[in-house]
Structure 1
């Protein structure tokens, strides 16, 4: 199984990140490869997890393909975002940087578009 964590901290990178994730899933599915993909947003990028975001339909579609989307609680606090304001199925972790280190120690490849 391939395990990958994408890290996004700039709002301008959402299209690129979601495109990369989609392309990776297409490849893995075409080659019958099991995968676990997580997208971690911290800094200002967490703002695009809000309900009604420009990227909501893409994110929800990828969640249906088993992609895990994670928000940094510290970034949420910095941008005055409450968990109830997030799209459904967005997970929250205490600290994004800790999540990155944890996933890498578990064998996840790190990608920052």
Structure 2
């Protein structure tokens, strides 16, 4: 009986750890509307509140570029708080979008990372088993 209890305790602990550590989602945002950008911030905050160990990434490209620019973002304070306050949350902007719009990494909100191509980033995460959410409003 003692061995069965130990086995079940280990099994339950393993399942709980796996379930919490395996929560990985990439968000896809291309919208320039403040409502869509506020939506992704709200969604990320909601998930982090329920599961602080969740790994969350926001891929920013296309018309959403202003979201991560210091001088144009309408969600800069909330975005900065997410980046600095949660090691498992990242915002990644498309390098190709930045190049098309003549923007440099110096113009980004601190902590926003540049990836060569946001669509490739999304596909890579999906191949690694990450969930995918297209943000639209």
Bigger Rg, which one:
2
In the alignment, what sits opposite 1:61?
Answer: 81
In the alignment, what sits opposite 1:15?
Answer: 38
C-alpha contact 1:5 1:108 (8 A) present in aligned 2: yes
Which of 103, 110, 113 lines up with 2:132 in the alignment? 110
Unmatched segments (≥5 aa) in structure 2: 1-20
**TM-score for the superposition, normalised by structure 2:** 0.76
Quick check: which one's strand share is greater?
Answer: 1
Over aligned residue pairs, what C-alpha RMSD do you find?
1.1
Per-residue CA deviations over 1:21-67 (Å, capped at 9, x if unaligned) read 111111114xxxx2110011010111211114221110011112121
The whole-number CA distance in structure 1 between the counterparts of 2:55 and 2:67 is: 22
Question: Which structure exhibits the higher relative contact order, with contacts defined as CA atoms closer than 8 Å and separated by 6 or more residues?
Answer: 1
Which of 34, 46, 57 lines up with 1:38 in the alignment? 57
**TM-score for the superposition, normalised by structure 1:** 0.91
Unmatched segments (≥5 aa) in structure 1: none
Runs (4+) of structure 1 exceeding 4 A deviation are none
Quick check: which one's helix share is greater?
Answer: 2
